[in-house]
Structure formats: structure tokens, C-alpha cells
């Protein structure tokens, strides 16, 4: 069993000549809509999405291979549910657009006495950091809800140092035609609970200019993907 799964052959079947230009999702959202959704989810997020999505979070931290002194940016820190998973010897910056989610994150960080974590309110598509500011840039369960996933990832790449890691943990459109049809059909509804169910992975990678070193299925059921990239 290899340590990393290679990009799945099924993805090749849905990569067409239009991969660099086709729409990533049938669902369109704006920042105000996303902020309202997460204002509502803030009080129940940990209970609803905590245990179910936790294995993916743990595996993502393992793939990062965080070293002492590493600077980590978590894009979409939410309630700070990942905060206690990071080694105390690294420096973590968490950003989020939702003030309600950040309030929960601040409470968690204070309660756990995490002095290596700072939290900032910020738009993921407009990061207020200089180029190459971080060794690892990580977006957990975020990319499928932001208005412009490509803009967000380009910002993630910009603020990552050369040779650093860009890690995306997310749900993507199934390569199975029947499941893909269903995911497209329900996407206008799933966005109200925090994600688009039909984000197109091959199109997303092509348009964002990402070349993964690994794509792994995580969680149960295995409908979430952990995408790990190295900045050239």
C-alpha cells in the first residue's frame, strides 16, 4: 500500500478539452451569502461537522510534516477546530471571513492556552500577507464554498514560500456519472449547509495551476479528497 495515493484514474475520464475553461460548479455564491451561512453554523459546527470530518483533518496534519518553527497559514480556520492538532513548536495563523466563527476560535485558543496561534478576520481571496510568508498553506473544507476557488488558491500559492506545501482538504464532484449528476442536482441546496457538492476537481486544478504530488480519499464515506502540492 503506497503512502500516497496517485491521482485517481477516474479523474482522467472527466478531463476534456474544456477543462481549463469550464465552470467549476453549477452553484454561484457571494461573500455575503457565505458569511450568513457560517454565522448560522457557528454554534453547531463542531457538533455537526466535528467527528465526521476529523479523520481527514488528522491525515492532513500528517501530510504537512510540520517542523519546529514552521509558519502555517490555515485559510478558513472556522471555530479553530484544528488548533489543538498543530505542534506547539510551529507558528499558526488562522484567517476567516466569519466573525462568529472567529469568536468561537478565539474562545478555543484561549481555553487551550495556545500561544502559538493567532487569528485574523480576512477574505481568503485577498490575503493581506507578503509573498512567501508561510511554509505551509492549508485550506480545510473551504474551497467548495468560496465564491472564487481559483482566486483563493492563487492567493494561497502567492503567500507560500518556494518549496512550501499547499494543502487542500475538500469534497469534489464524483467521477461516477450517476453520482456526479446527483451532486450537481443537490449543490444549490448543500451550499446552505456550507459547501457546494459539485466542485469539479480536474477543472479546479487546471485553472488554479496546481500540480498535486498526491490526491488521497479521506473520511468515511470516502467522498472527500486531500490534495497536497509543492510550490515550485
| Residue-wise burial string across 113-125, b where 16 or more C-beta atoms lie within 10 A, e elsewhere | ebeebebeebbbb
Nearest to 141 by CA among 99, 79, 189, 212: 79
- Residue 1 confidence (pLDDT): 36
| Terminal Cα-to-Cα distance of the chain (whole angstroms) | 27
| Domains present along the chain, CATH in parentheses | 9-230 (3.40.50.150)
Cβ(75)–Cβ(97) under 8 Å?
A: no
Give residue 164's region: left, alpha or beta (phi > 0; psi -120 to 50): beta
Give, in degrees to the nearest 5, the angle at Cα 201 between 159 and 173.
Answer: 135
* DSSP 8-state class, residue 69: T
Q: Model's pTM, two decimal places?
A: 0.87
Distance CA 193, CA 145 (A): 10
According to the model, what pLDDT value does residue 2 have? 39
Q: For residues 12 and 47, what is the distance between their CA atoms, to the nearest angstrom?
A: 36
Q: Give every strand in the sheet of 134-140, ordered side by side.
A: 117-121, 91-96, 71-75, 134-140, 160-171, 224-230, 212-218
Which cell goes with 210? 496546481
What pLDDT was estimated at residue 172? 95
DSSP 29-41: --HHHHHHHHHHH
Q: Is 56 helix (H, G, I), strand (E, B) or coil?
A: helix
Question: Consecutive sets of 10 residues in the chain, 232 residues long: mean pLDDT of each?
Answer: 40 55 79 77 81 95 97 97 97 96 97 98 97 98 92 98 98 94 92 86 94 96 95 93
Contact 64, 93 (CB under 8 A): no
The distance between the two most distant Cα atoms of the chain, rounded to a whole number of Å, is 51
Amino acid at each position: 500500500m503506497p503512502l500516497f495515493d496517485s491521482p485517481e484514474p477516474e479523474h482522467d475520464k472527466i478531463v476534456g478539452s474544456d477543462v481549463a475553461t469550464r465552470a467549476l460548479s453549477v452553484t454561484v455564491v457571494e461573500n455575503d451569502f457565505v458569511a450568513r451561512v457560517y454565522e448560522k453554523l457557528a454554534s453547531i459546527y463542531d457538533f455537526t461537522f466535528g467527528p465526521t470530518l476529523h479523520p481527514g483533518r488528522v491525515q492532513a496534519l500528517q501530510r504537512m510534516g510540520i517542523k519546529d518553527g514552521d509558519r502555517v497559514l490555515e485559510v478558513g480556520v472556522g471555530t479553530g477546530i484544528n488548533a489543538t492538532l498543530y505542534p506547539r513548536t510551529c507558528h499558526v495563523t488562522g484567517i476567516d471571513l466569519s466573525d462568529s466563527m472567529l469568536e468561537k476560535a478565539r474562545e478555543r485558543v484561549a481555553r487551550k492556552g495556545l500561544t502559538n496561534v493567532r487569528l485574523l478576520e480576512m477574505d481568503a481571496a485577498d490575503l493581506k500577507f507578503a509573498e512567501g510568508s508561510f511554509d505551509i498553506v492549508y485550506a480545510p473544507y473551504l474551497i467548495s464554498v468560496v465564491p472564487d476557488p481559483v482566486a483563493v488558491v492563487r492567493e494561497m500559492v502567492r503567500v507560500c514560500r518556494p518549496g512550501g506545501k499547499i494543502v487542500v482538504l475538500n469534497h469534489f464532484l464524483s467521477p461516477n456519472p450517476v453520482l456526479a449528476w446527483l451532486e450537481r442536482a443537490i449543490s444549490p441546496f448543500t451550499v446552505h449547509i456550507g459547501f457546494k457538492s459539485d466542485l469539479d476537481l480536474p477543472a479546479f486544478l487546471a485553472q488554479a495551476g496546481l500540480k498535486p504530488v498526491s490526491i488521497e480519499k479521506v473520511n468515511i464515506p470516502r467522498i472527500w479528497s486531500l490534495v497536497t502540492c509543492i510550490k515550485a
